[in-house]
Structures are given as structure tokens and as C-alpha cells.
Amino acid sequence: MKRLSIRDFSLVLALVAIVAFFTIQSPVYLDPRNLSNLAVEFSIIAVLALGVFLILLPGQTDLSTGSGVGLFGGVAAVLIYNQGWPAPAAMGAAFVGAVALWALMGLLIVKQRIPAFIMTLAGMLVFKGLHWATIENSTIPVKVGAQDNLFSSLTTWYLPPSAGWAVVAVAVAALGWAALRARARRIAHGLTVEDRDTAFAGWLIPVQLLILLVVVLNQFNGVPLPILLLGVTAVAVFILTRHTPFGRHLYAIGGNAEASRISGIPVERTIVIAFALCGVTVAATGFLQTAYAGASTSTIGQFLELDAIAACVIGGVSLAGGKGTVGGVLFGALIMTALLNGMTLLAVDPELKLIARGLVLALAVWMDVALSKRR
């Protein structure tokens, strides 16, 4: 049975403290409208963080994701609103470009032995320059219209209340089936399993959170589309990392790359695929962030790579690799979003927001190092 750690308690207390502080400072923090906005912002950070998670697991890093978010959101916006492309074609082209570029970075890292820090730092600068050149240092508005409905509605479309409950019902059934299947497989292999009460509690907690989420969001316009996209991404990454050989390889490489290579794990191919999958989340986040901002500007994606890394580290992902969970990443992203949303609501000065981001990241890394020494 998994035991709660000091980190688990500290994260819950930190989230409660953040919510309590901003609620006292601004009662509208828990207003249904703001909570709906917070859900969209959480989805944007969390989708990117899940991609970064795949990079951190094998002990790599990526500083270029924020610039990529701006670039590929800008590419899609320019193709749709300046070049007249249909939204699906424009988004598809940007999507392919993101996956190709991230796969290329991964290939250069493993084949030319360029440190990931340097390669992605170079990518950050290159992608930022390409973004500015693509939008010609101007603002490309995301217009609401029939032909571009797919792009502009990414963050403005909501599920009707009844549909939201239908999604929850499917999710609850899927969680129950997955838990029972995993339990049966462990028993079949002679492994220890949790007692029934503990297993039931482990299923009940996420179910309650899902119900609470839908109850809150239905008080405004319903469940926003980004939450659904995040759900699909989270499930895909969870299955990939926990129930496939590829996922086991990611953890093994992060634990000991040389031992993994000797044991026959395709280390180089696994890392390249991880980077390519990160490119998928970069493109998706680019579309969401640009649509949510209502325009592609030179500041889209700025510092988002740091928010994604911070979300991972806060959630227990080790910067050295080999450790972390999807649930932890989501919780870390929720803490970052709650903090950033609250500061925006209070109109905190930009310089203070940067200081807060930096302190949170430093604290998260300190926790990672301190708790690693105890193990």
C-alpha cells in the first residue's frame, strides 16, 4: 500500500493556503466564472506539463516548450486569419511541424550527444525568433467566425450540463474497470494488493473530485473543452507511462541510462520518441493558449516552460529522472494555476509575479533535493 509522504501533506496544505489567501483577498476568487477561467488555465499548463513530464522521466530537460507554444499557436493563427486556410488544415500543419521539430531536437541530443539543456536553450531562442518573424511582431487576432470556428472555439465551447454528467459517468466506470483489472492482474501474478477498503478509497477520491468539478463548472457555462482535452491527454500519458514497455523504459533510463542500455533497452529511440510526444503537447498548448488569449502576440508562451517544469517538480517528478506520476504532475499544475490566477485577479505587478514564480520553482527543487537525500 502506498503511504503518504511529507511531500503529499505539504502540497495539500500549500493548495489550501493559496486558495484561502486569495479568497480572503478577493471573494470572487471562488466565483463560478473565475473557477471556470481557472479550469481553462489549469488545462493549458497541465497539458504542457504532461509533455515535459515525458522528457524529465528519462533524465532530460526542455527549456524550449514555451517558445514553441507561441510559435505554433502563431503559425496556426497566421495560416487561418492571414492566409485563409481552413482551421483543421492550419492546425494540422502546425501540429506536424511541432512534432517534427521536437523529434529533430531529440535526435540531435542522442546522436550528436548535445546536452539537452544546451539544445533546448538554443531551441528556445530560435523558436522565439521564428514566432516573432511569423507574426511580424504584430498582433494576429483570433476572430470568431464560421470558417475558423474550430480554432476560436477551443476555449469558448462548453459541454451542456447533461453532457458533463455523462462524461463523469463514463470516467467513473472507466476508473472502476481499470482499478479492478489492475488488481486482478497483480493477484494473477502473485503480487500483493491493497485491502478492499483502501482500494475503494483510492477509487472514491478521484470520483468525488470529478463530481465536484462538474458541479462547480455547471454553475457557469458547463465543462469547458480544454478540460476534456486535458482528460484525454492525462489518460493517454498515464497508460503510456504505466502500462506499456515504452513507459517502463522511460523510468529505467531515468534511473540508470547505462544499465538500461546494457539490458537491451533502446535508449536513444525512447528519448527521441519522448521528445516527439512532447511536441504533440506543445502544439496542443499553443492552440489553447493562443485561442484563450484571443490573439497571437509576441508574449504568448512567455515563461510557460518554467511553469510546466515547476508543475512537474512540485508534483514529485525528479529532475534527475526515473521518478514521477501523472497525478503528481496534475496536482503541481493545479498549485501553479491557483497561484497565477490569484495574482492576476488581484492585479499583482508583473515583477512580483515573476518573483513568486521563481520562488515557487526554487522551493520545489529544494524539496526534490531534500526529500531525495532522505530516501
The sign of the torsion formed by the CA atoms of 165, 171, 177, 179 equals negative
Q: pLDDT: is 244 or 7 the higher one?
A: 244
- Determine the pLDDT at residue 373: 61
Which CATH code for domain 6-156+225-374? 1.10.3470
DSSP state at residue 303: T
Mean pLDDT of the chain, nearest integer: 89
> DSSP letters of 83-141?
S---HHHHHHHHHHHHHHHHHHHHHHHHHS---HHHHHHHHHHHHHHHHHHHHTTS-EE
Q: Does position 108 have pLDDT exceeding 80, yes or no?
A: yes
In the predicted model, is pLDDT for residue 190 greater than 90?
no
Q: Are 267 and 261 in contact (CB under 8 A)?
A: yes
Residue 16 class from Cβ within 10 Å (0-12 exposed, 13-18 middle, 19+ buried)? exposed
pTM of this structure? 0.92
Whole-number pLDDT of residue 367: 72
Look at residue 145 and tell me whether its pLDDT is greater than 90: no
Confidence category of residue 183, pLDDT binned at 50, 70, 90: confident
10 pLDDT band, cuts 50/70/90, is confident
Beta bridge partners of 224: 158
Ordered by start, the domain boundaries in the chain are 6-156+225-374, 161-221
| Cα 78 versus chain centre, distance | 25
Model pLDDT, residue 6:
58
Task: For residue range 341-352, list pLDDT tens digits in order.
Answer: 999 999 889 888
Over residues 71-93, the mean pLDDT reads 93
Q: What is the pLDDT of residue 1?
A: 43
147 pLDDT tier (thresholds 50, 70, 90): low
C-alpha cell at 107: 535526435
201-220 confidence digits (pLDDT tens): 777 878 888 898 899 899 98
Mark out the alpha helices in the chain (DSSP H runs).
Answer: 6-25, 32-56, 65-81, 87-111, 116-135, 149-152, 161-188, 196-217, 225-242, 245-255, 257-262, 267-293, 304-314, 326-345, 350-374
Strand partners, 140: 296
pLDDT of residue 225: 94
**Bridge partner residues of 296 (DSSP):** 140
The residue ranking higher by pLDDT, 94 or 8, is 94
Residue 45 has pLDDT above 80, yes or no: yes
What is the SS3 assignment for 8? helix
- Tell me which DSSP letter residue 158 carries: E
Query: Above 70 in pLDDT, residue 300?
Result: yes
Residue 4 has pLDDT above 70, yes or no: no
Residue 246: per-residue pLDDT: 95
Share of the chain above pLDDT 70, in %: 94
H helix or E strand, kind and range, residue 348: none
Q: What is the pLDDT of residue 189?
A: 79
Q: What angle do CA 166, 168, 171 make, to 5 degrees?
A: 115
CA distance 194 to 196: 6
- Say which residues have a Cβ less than 8 Å from residue 154's Cβ, sequence separation at least 6: 225, 226, 287, 288, 291, 292
Q: What share of the chain in percent tops pLDDT 90?
A: 63
Most confident of 2-11, 239-248, 279-288, 322-331: 279-288
Contact indicator for 235, 46 with CB cutoff of 8 Å: no
The conformation of residue 375, written as its DSSP 8-state character, comes to: -
Instruction: Report the alpha-carbon distance of residue 207 to residue 129 in Å, rounded.
Output: 44
2 pLDDT above the threshold of 50: no
pLDDT at 371: 62
Using 50, 70 and 90 to split pLDDT, how confident is the model at 368?
Answer: low
